[in-house]
Copies of this chain bind each other. A is one copy, B any other.
Amino acid sequence: MPKLLQGIITVIDVFYQYATQHGEYDMLNKAELKELLENEFHQILKNPNDPDTVDIILQSLDHDHNKKVDFMEYLLMIFKLVRAHNKIITLFHKEHGFISSGKKTFKCGL
């Protein structure tokens, strides 16, 4: 499978991998969100195991205030993360005068 489709499917799969653990299959409750953050974002979150971190993130994602994160709320988080990560890449390139015509092996990394 082409890698872009694989990446897209991974983003969807991860949501359901955690959402289907307890209760509604299409919502992340607080415990499921906590597990997702601990397992998937421990490299970028300062304190992924801190209960306050989960509360703060849940509050920021939960636009309809039902104490759960639905797929669209999750997707907005991913969207913001990708945008933020791309801004860092762009800034880095501007600061380092990156010119990349013909450079096919660009990797953003982490």
* Contact flags A73-109 to B (C-beta < 8 A → 1, else 0): 0010011011101100110010000111111111111
Copies of this polypeptide in the complex: 2
- Please state if A108 and B3 are interface contacts (CB–CB under 8 Å): no
| Interface residue range, chain A | 35 or more
Partner among B75, B86, B100 whose Cβ is within 8 Å of the Cβ of A20? B100
Least CB separation from A26: chain B residue: B90
| Nearest Cβ on chain B to A104's Cβ, whole angstroms | 6
A85 to B9, CA, bound (A): 9
Interface secondary structure of A, over-half rule = helix
Least CB separation from A78: chain B residue: B8
A95 to B34, CA, bound (A): 30
* Contact flags A36-70 to B (C-beta < 8 A → 1, else 0): 10011111100000000000000000000000000
Partner among B4, B98, B99 whose Cβ is within 8 Å of the Cβ of A11? B4
Q: With A22-B101, A23-B101, A110-B5 known to touch, is A82 a contact of B11 (CB < 8 Å)?
A: yes
Q: For A98, list chain B residues within 8 Å (CB).
A: 25
